[in-house]
Structure 1
Amino acid sequence: MTREVHNNRERNGYRRGPVLLRGDQIPQETTDARLLAPEQDTSWLHQDPWRVLRIQAEFVEGFGALAEVGPAISVFGSARISPGTAEYALAEEVGARLVAAGFAVVTGGGPGIMEAANKGAAEAGGLSVGLGIELPFEQGMNAWVDLGVNFRYFFARKMMFVKYSQGFVVLPGGFGTMDELFEALTLVQTQKVSSFPIVLVGKEFWGGLVSWIKTSMLEHGAINPADVELLPVVDTAEEAVNLVRSRVEVLAKERRAQAAAAAEAGGAPE
């Protein structure tokens, strides 16, 4: 661990689930790291049942906190984007426009793009939600989050993003953003979730990835042509929000029609 990271942890504190730790109380590894450690002694026989209860508690707390959020869109992007940059301003505008379109805004609760989207939502008078995660270089919950939930386990946090969002807006980001993006794509592709919109913002940033998907994945038969359509790329906040809103409206109409058809079929005489 670098001195800078160490000093940041000492100054900001360290969150482990709902608990804030400072000084000597800060652990050297995360809960996820302990769970996934390949070499452990037989003490795991006694530890894992308690881990199951802790995991269960994270789901219960998350479901309870987010159940009444209402229609929401998750915004993903890099934690390393600084205020004053074009990307930060773009994320602020995305957050504000989503609120104007009737959505709450959900992010990972950290700095950078996440902070910007939460700020845009909060300043527009909407609900700004942050789903934090325990990390070695603790980021903390940004100041623009109205409703924040901290998680120990990535998989519990990812569940909340998918369950309580009606779509994803993805701005420039790193490995974490890619992880969230491709997990969502996989869930839609495999029909584990009803198809919901995923919009990439920034043609210059995302163009190479989409081109590679078309020229490598598609040409090798690893995906179907229809899968490419799951990744529309736009350049402006207005385009991104309009696309998400229109797609959400179409899906809502489809679900209402299906429900009406099922009710009619159930009530028809034999």
Structure 2
Amino acid sequence: MQLIEVKKQFEEIKKNAKCSKYIACFGKTFIDKGSEEYKISEKIGALIIKEGFGVLHGGYIGTMEAVSEGANKGIKDFKRNEFWNIGVPMKLFDKDVKRATCLHLETDDIFDRKRVLIELCDLCVVLPVGGVGTLLEAIEIFHLNQINEKFGEKIRPIIFFGKIWENLISEILNKLNLDKQSKGESFITFVNNLKELEEAINKKW
């Protein structure tokens, strides 16, 4: 599906959802369903719905599935509709995967999927476990925010969940030459539990 068509489809979904803001979640694909990271990702999905935000995710397995399952629970518990939980799968690799969400914005490949997730969201949560792909997504959003902050365009705040991200991102920012560039003070937050996450997503950005 062409990106312009995906965006039109998303606008229709937002109207049906009656939800003004969506949070995109990024995390690791291959994790054990019984792991603590999977369970906390489920809770994050439910929390986002509880706090009045829709959920965007990659529509695949692992933490994406966990977030989706949590969002579905939140939809049931807080009487939202299915339009609050949207997966963005890519037909190239994962067309036969069983989905944890009913609504999909299908993209052609991993590059389009990443672009759709970033462009359509209002806020980003980096889940407690991730690999190189998750780091790449977070860095891309960070860099986009640097540019947008300079030119007065839309900022997508990034919330990193877990001490590993705080240590890693802080180390990266300390090592890079960011003279005359934003270091993200206005748009990144590090949290270590659900209470801190709740406060962060409700912050007046």
Contact 2:125 / 2:161 at 8 angstroms: preserved in 1?
A: yes
C-alpha distance in structure 2 between counterparts of 1:229 and 1:60, whole Å: 30
5+ residue gaps, structure 2: none
The AA in structure 2 aligned to 1:197 is P
Larger radius of gyration: 1
Q: Are 2:17 and 1:61 aligned?
A: no
Alignment partner of 1:133: what SS?
Answer: coil
Measured at CA, do residues 233 and 79 of structure 1 come closer, stay the same or move farther in structure 2, by a change above 3 Å? same
Instruction: Classify the secondary structure of the residue corresponding to 1:157.
Output: helix
Query: Does structure 2 retain, via aligned residues, the 8 Å contact 1:111–1:139?
Result: no
Structure 2 counterpart of 1:81: 31
Question: Which AA in structure 2 matches 1:209?
Answer: L
Report the equivalent of 1:234: 191
From 164, 174, 177, the equivalent of 1:215 is 174
* Contact 2:28 2:62 (8 Å CA) reproduced: yes
- Give the CA deviation at 1:154: 3.5
Counterpart for residue 115 of structure 2: 159
Q: 1:58 to 1:90 in 2, by over 3 A?
A: same
Letter in 2 for 1:113: T
Q: Which amino acid aligns with 1:227?
A: G
Equivalent pairs: percent with the same residue? 26
Aligned to 1:53: none
Among 106, 114, 130, the residue aligned to 2:64: 114
Give the number of aligned pairs: 188
CA contact 1:198–1:244 (8 Å) conserved in 2 = no
1:89 and 1:195 map into 2 onto residues whose CA distance is: 29
SS of 1:84 mapped into structure 2: coil
Do the aligned partners of 1:110 and 1:139 also contact (CA within 8 Å) in 2? Answer: no
- Distance 1:178-1:222 versus aligned 2 partners, 3 A rule: farther
Contact 2:173 2:183 in 1 (8 A): no
CA distance in 2, matches of 1:145, 1:201: 23
- Aligned equivalents of 2:90 and 2:105: distance in 1? 9
Aligned-partner SS, 2:106: strand
State the 1:113 CA deviation. Answer: 0.6
TM-score, length-normalised on structure 1? Answer: 0.63
Given that 1:110 and 1:140 are in contact with CA atoms closer than 8 Å, whether structure 2 keeps it comes out as no
Q: Which amino acid aligns with 2:155?
A: S
